[in-house]
Structure 1
Amino acid sequence: MWTTRLLLIILLVSLPLHHGLADSAARAYLIPELEQLRPFLGTTYRAEFDGENQKKLVDIARWERALNGTAVRILHSINKGEYGGESIIFYDKTQQSLRFYYFTTAGFYTEGRSHFEDGKLISIETVKGNQDGITQVISTASLSPSGVLTMSSAFKKGQEIASTHTVHYTPVENQTPTFK
């Protein structure tokens, strides 16, 4: 009788543990087309850089698996919500390419395509509704062996490059993108 009770107790105690392992495995799943993004996932990055008029900017960006592994979500905020946005990267089966949408607190959005080239994520996005006249952004993201994320971007107005910048993000703990 005690043996039966002991086995029942062990079973009841271990069920949540097994359930947790299954959940962990499910959270880790990514569709094959997104696997190259895995090194970025589960990490929050922080960058400090100068914006317009030498204003100090702090960008906190979180990369995570989304939609049962069929998408990647990037949430970022600058200066605790003065500006921010959310990107969803997904594989478009019809166009057989990585695609994404980026929605901003400034009221504009972008849509674009991404691909990997020489270990770098290259993105070309069309900007819709930007009040500063930016029409396209071309960016490159690379991850160093030490975990530093480098983002280089060129901002176009029409056919002309209006500005460029490169920002280095370091992994951080206990920080999250914040919105007002």
Structure 2
Amino acid sequence: MSYLKTILLTLCLTSSGFALANDSIEIAKELAVFKPYLGTWQADFKVEPGKPPIQDVSVWERALNGKAIRTSHSINEGVYGGESMIFWDSKEQSIVFYYFTTAGFYTKGTMNVLSPTKFVAYETVTGSKEGITKVRSTSEYKDDKFIVLTSYLKKGEWTKPEERIYIRSEKEVKFK
């Protein structure tokens, strides 16, 4: 029983230590919505029975002295991945980002903050071989996880939103 108590205490201290460290990180006030997202995350995608599992590992970190947020992610240990830079564009008066992928396409987008822990992203896709031209996603941080709903404009039609739930992780982003 004491072993179980030790594990629980360790988890509590680790979690609260991360929260304290996260609170002391300085980032631009326009990027404050991303503060709870900083760290490493993973999501196991919903797949049809009999299909191979799909796991996304993502890292969100402060960049450029807090003037930007850098994200990187990899699916199934590097089968696919991407990196983005999110920053406040003072000329546009908007949060702007670029996302570059291992599949050879990239996106440019803007984000609108909906609440202190929720935002929506709109992306224009360049170079997609699948016919995707736009992406719309909403992310919300809640109960130490974040939920993402994503739709794609593919061949002129919006797809049904896909939900992904990200939880804290110790895994690493890997590229092949």
TM-score > 0.5, shorter chain as reference:
yes
The change in CA–CA distance for 1:169 and 1:83 in structure 2 (over 3 A counts) is: same
* Superposed displacement of residue 111, structure 1: 0.4
Q: CA deviation at 1:29?
A: 2.0
* CA deviation map 1:57-102 (0-9, x unaligned): 0110001000111100111000000000001100001000000000
* Larger helix fraction of residues: 1
C-alpha contact 1:138 1:154 (8 A) present in aligned 2: yes
Q: Which has the larger radius of gyration?
A: 1
How far apart, CA to CA, are the structure 2 residues paired with 1:31 and 1:60? 25
In the alignment, structure 2 segments of 5+ residues that lack a partner are 1-20
Alignment of 1:18-167 (within 5 A): 28-41=25-38, 43-50=39-46, 54-118=51-115, 119-145=117-143, 147-167=144-164
Asked if the contact 1:156–1:163 (Cα under 8 Å) also holds between the matched residues in 2, the reply is no
Structure 1 residue 55 displacement after superposition: 3.1
Identity of aligned residues (%): 41
1:108 is aligned with what amino acid?
F
SS in 1 for 2:167: strand
Distance in 2, matches of 1:39 and 1:169, equals 12
Aligned length: 153
Match of 1:39, SS state, is helix
Matching of residues 9-20 of structure 1 within 5 Å: none
Counterpart residue identity of residue 45, structure 2: F
Q: For 1:30, what is the secondary structure of its paired residue?
A: coil
Q: TM-score, normalised by structure 2?
A: 0.81
